[in-house]
């Protein structure tokens, strides 16, 4: 089992008092599986993704990735997990403006000591970025920037890829191309994919779907 999530609870403290966002969510993901996470705005999708990605810790429950309980890790342990085993693609591309495209692509893999130059070249070629490698992010279009972000995420060969509306900032045609590439490359790398999406068409292209309603699996 790649990912096992068991009875996760998360409550945020707000000015109006405690606000329970996740109320006992459980799910599993096998290596090579692709799962669409759907649900209305505010149902807790991004929160669940953040917890699985180790960006935050749950109040209760277990998140086991490759046999390791990440809910029990401290901040340092979670940071190390994020650099290597888990890759995240957000709606915002979050590239480093002062680094050339080639160095943006290799950045996380180098940090995690998992840099494989040949794999990076393959990713850049497949994503059509060969001619952009010596440029800076601001010289690229939105679609190109998101392709760089995808290459950066896949460069350390994560076993789990998390994506939060990764094409939400792109026009429909560019979004389609970028999504095709993301799905192809995830399949090629053998990683599992958990993707938040509002698009039923996109959800239909993934192997399974998990629908959240008010912080619970519907």
Ligand X SMILES: Nc1ncnc2c1ncn2[C@@H]1O[C@H](COP(=O)(O)OP(=O)(O)OP(=O)(O)O)[C@@H](O)[C@H]1O
Out of 3, 34, 35, 44, which residue is the one contacting ligand X (CB under 6 A)? 44
Report residue 80: phi and psi, to 5°.
-70, -35
Q: Is 202 in the site for ligand X (CB under 6 A)?
A: no
Q: Is 98 in the site for ligand X (CB under 6 A)?
A: no
Out of 30, 31, 42, 130, which residue is the one contacting ligand X (CB under 6 A)? 42
126 touches 183 (CB < 8 A):
no
* Residue (12 or 125) nearer to ligand X, CB: 12
Binding residue count for ligand X, defined by CB under 6 A: 12
Q: Is 21 in the site for ligand X (CB under 6 A)?
A: yes
3-state percent helix, strand, coil for the chain, nearest multiple of 5 = 40, 30, 35
User: What is the helix (H) or strand (E) element at residue 63, kind and residue range?
Assistant: strand 60-65
Report residue 3: phi and psi, to 5°.
-135, 130
* Residue (122 or 217) nearer to ligand X, CB: 217
Q: How far apart are CA 121 and CA 118, in angstroms?
A: 5
Q: Is 47 in the site for ligand X (CB under 6 A)?
A: yes
Q: How far apart are CA 99 and CA 101, in angstroms?
A: 6
Q: Which residue has the tokens 């940071």?
A: 79
As measured in angstroms, the least distance from the Cβ of 215 to ligand X is: 8
Out of 34, 46, 153, 159, which residue is the one contacting ligand X (CB under 6 A)? 46
Q: Is 43 in the site for ligand X (CB under 6 A)?
A: yes
Q: How many C-beta neighbours within 10 Å does residue 132 have?
A: 22
Out of 25, 36, 38, 45, which residue is the one contacting ligand X (CB under 6 A)? 45
Name the residues that contact ligand X, by CB under 6 A. 12, 14, 19, 21, 39, 41-47
């Amino acid at each position: 089992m790649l990912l096992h999530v068991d009875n996760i609870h998360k409550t945020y403290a707000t000015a109006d008092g405690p606000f329970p966002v996740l109320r006992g969510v459980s799910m599993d993901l096998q290596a090579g599986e692709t799962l669409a996470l759907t649900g209305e705005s505010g149902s807790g999708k991004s929160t669940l993704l953040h917890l699985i990605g180790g960006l935050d810790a749950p109040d209760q429950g277990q998140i086991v990735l490759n046999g390791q309980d990440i809910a029990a890790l401290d901040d340092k342990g979670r940071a190390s997990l994020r650099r290597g085993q888990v890759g995240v693609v957000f709606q915002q591309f979050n590239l480093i403006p002062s680094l050339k495209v080639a160095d943006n692509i290799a950045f996380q893999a180098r940090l995690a000591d998992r840099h494989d130059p040949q794999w990076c070249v393959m990713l850049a070629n497949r994503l059509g970025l060969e001619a952009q490698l010596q440029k800076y992010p601001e010289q690229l279009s939105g679609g190109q920037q998101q392709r760089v972000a995808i290459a950066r995420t896949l460069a350390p060969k994560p076993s789990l890829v998390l994506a939060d509306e990764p094409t939400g900032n792109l026009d429909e045609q560019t979004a389609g191309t970028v999504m095709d590439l993301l799905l192809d490359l995830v399949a090629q790398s053998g990683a599992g994919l958990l993707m938040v999406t509002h698009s039923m068409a996109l959800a239909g292209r993934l192997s399974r779907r998990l629908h959240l309603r008010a912080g619970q699996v519907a």
